[in-house]
Chain A
């Protein structure tokens, strides 16, 4: 188990927990980031936000936000 922010480019991961407040958690799940969803990291350059692939679409996610999402390798 690690945070999404620790993942490497091209890594496929499964979301275990979204440790955000209710409101943002809802927003993330509306965009496809929710527990059990699969993500692929497209870009993870430190510092700066990440680009991830969710169900075939690309999302920019702030680094701070990615640090609160727990994932594991698929």
Chain B
């Protein structure tokens, strides 16, 4: 069995992942590129006598040194020497897609060009002559469809063939006599002076003319780059003199010029642009007046579906853990081990696993919306509001919406934001969206105090979360993320029918990450909290004498100005850090209602809660629960996504301050106004 390695490259949204999933199925491994926060997907499959390893490169428009994704891609081509690079391009979008292709050819990659979504090109009236294009570029060009098996066999054959006889077509790229001449000139000096950089010298020359930071840095490191660098600088000055623009703009122009030439010869376009089905749908979906109602309707449906199906499923999991707990208690009897398993592990990890169905369903619907192309429209529709209110652009709105279900998928969805500062800012405000875990807390307290205004009180909390998020975002935008407003440009892909397989794989990937990464941390902290609640030996679990109880008692004065200075309220807040809905079960345990804590109807329990709070302090408590430190799973996700402890630590710290301040204002302000 012979081994081959191929890299899948292409612009975002061209069907790269679809092909990757189609080839590798579930035999995938998701990790990070070494030392980078960029996700790396690998997989293997067998084809005839070959075992083929596939690496899914990040979706890129270019191979400059401006983004980590682009650097990752070009380092992969240079350092890993994959046998073949399969460059997937959207046939209807060929001209713009070829910009990346050309840059991979500059790097000397052994490219197979795979034209995807040919039907859409036909609809637009494009006639692409693949043979002609192949002859002009000197690389194989194959038409295929990523969503089904059309052309798959031919593509695989071509890949194997290309691996046997690699094509290096650097010499075919023509950027006009002026630029070509300078590349040659500089290339000569690179050949003479520079060794040890594993990339074509013509590419190094070209990158130096573009003033590529990374390449310049590498040349400097080599120690013998003075002559090359000064020559490159001279050429840059010369080019900008001739073209009246930066040298790299001139090179960009030359690349597009070369591509325009290719297109001229190999593609026939209709004289008048045809109106496609996508255009017709967009006339309604992105309409000035209809766009927002349609968006709201889709979001409403998303939540309806998620919770209608997900809640009962979560209930089964909860029951399952309940039964498991009982079974353990029955077989082991009351004791230290039982307490460890039931209170510690099941109470902690089980409490979080209850949300798995909701999270998976949200991911599934999100994947469908994303794959169909709708999310890009949502970003378009919401941009003006986000801009005015938050200073973020439309794309950031999607994670915030998801945050109403659960902050974890919301934070993971910030991956679609290419600007790191926007990502971090969005991550910081997503936890203010009132997630489903907070609802049981509201329900309990509302049942005890605000039966007459139930809906309004809960609604006010959702609204407060949004208002606080907007205020916090605009403050951050003026302080820590100052002057870094990200420009907004994104592709609007044509509508596509999402595939079941693609959506499920999407959902699975994201969901499993949540289970695995967050799960380990939650387990660890569950054990710590359990230990603190059981010690010193002999105390009742989570009683005032336990370490937790003592900590609660010691810390409770901090919360006295907010109206809830009792130790039980403090302990519930500490536990709520594990998962917000744990606040409810904590009260249950503290008041001896038992393990089955969802006892909103229990009159004795309600009375106990009523003795703990006044209506005003109860509302201040709800406000605090809404805003304070994101739950452990959320912080673990922020850690994972930012690859640093700094951001989760900051998120925990500042949300505590915000929660304290707002609760303080609510309670003290309310007291002044005569509420009690």
Contact = CB atoms under 8 A, between A and B. Distances in A.
Interface of A: 20, 22-37, 40, 42-43, 45, 47-49, 51, 53-62, 64-65
Contacts of B282: 43, 51
A35 B488 contact: no
A35 B492 contact: no
Given A35-B249, A49-B488, A60 B379 contact: yes
A34 B64 contact: no
Interface of B: 61-62, 64, 66, 90, 92-96, 99, 124, 126, 245-246, 248-249, 252-253, 256, 269, 273, 279, 282, 286, 288, 376, 379-380, 383-384, 387-388, 393-394, 487-494
A34 B124 CA distance: 24
Which of B252, B288, B388 gathers most chain A CB within 10 Å?
A: B252
A57 B273 CA distance: 12
A30 B96 CA distance: 8
B375 to A, nearest CB: 12
A57 B489 contact: no
B383 A49 contact: yes
Contacts of B126: 56
Given A49-B394, A55-B96, A56-B96, A34 B487 contact: no
A63 to B, nearest CB: 8
Given A23-B66, A51-B380, A62-B383, A35 B245 contact: yes
26 contacts: A20-B487, A26-B64, A30-B99, A31-B491, A34-B249, A34-B253, A36-B253, A45-B288, A47-B384, A49-B383, A49-B488, A53-B273, A56-B94, A56-B126, A57-B93, A57-B96, A58-B491, A58-B493, A59-B490, A60-B376, A60-B383, A60-B491, A62-B383, A62-B487, A64-B487, A65-B487
Contact of A30 (B64, B92, B246, B384): B64
A73 B567 CA distance: 72
Q: Is the interface of A mostly helix, strand, loop or mixed?
A: mixed
Which of A22, A32, A51 gathers most chain B CB within 10 Å?
A: A32
Nearest to A65: B487
A33 to B, nearest CB: 8
A61 B64 CA distance: 21
A41 to B, nearest CB: 13
B489 A62 contact: yes
A33 B61 CA distance: 12
